[in-house]
Amino acid sequence: QVQLVESGGGLVQAGGSLRLACAASRGIFSIMGWYRQAPGKQRELVARITSEGRAAYADSVKDRFTISRDNAKNTVYLQMNSLKPEDTAVYYCNAVSSIYDYWGQGTQVTVSS
């Protein structure tokens, strides 16, 4: 059983920073990433990164968020800078293996204005 354990969410003022981390208990993942879901909205991709380190971002977070990955630790990080109130959401970690898509339980990020 693969478990994704997220950490790092919380409350921050607009313009502040947070760093999310997601550690996988086991497995090999071609892609790891972060999605978010705000109240009343659909879940959307924030950023993802391949095992080779190629990253992709949603337009809304480009130049503010940075995704990184430590393959040895099976951990993916999301550095979030210049946070805006519209970044408020539950952030979910995602890990894609050859046979299955795994999801974390979600961590709340709240940005106050």
pLDDT tens sequence across 50-100: 999 999 999 999 999 999 999 999 999 999 999 999 999 999 999 999 889
The pLDDT, as a whole number, for residue 99 is: 87
Spatial distance between the Cα atoms of 24 and 95, rounded to a whole number of angstroms: 8
pLDDT tens sequence across 9-24: 999 999 999 999 999 9
Average pLDDT value for residue range 30-36: 97
How far from the centroid of its chain's Cα atoms is residue 31's Cα?
Answer: 12
Spatial distance between the Cα atoms of 77 and 19, rounded to a whole number of angstroms: 7
The pLDDT, as a whole number, for residue 75 is: 97
The pLDDT, as a whole number, for residue 61 is: 98
What is the number of alpha carbons within 13 Å of residue 111 lying toward its C-beta? Answer: 18
Average pLDDT value for residue range 28-45: 96
pLDDT score of 108 more than 90: yes
Average pLDDT value for residue range 4-11: 96
The pLDDT, as a whole number, for residue 1 is: 86
Residue that wins the pLDDT comparison between 24 and 27: 24
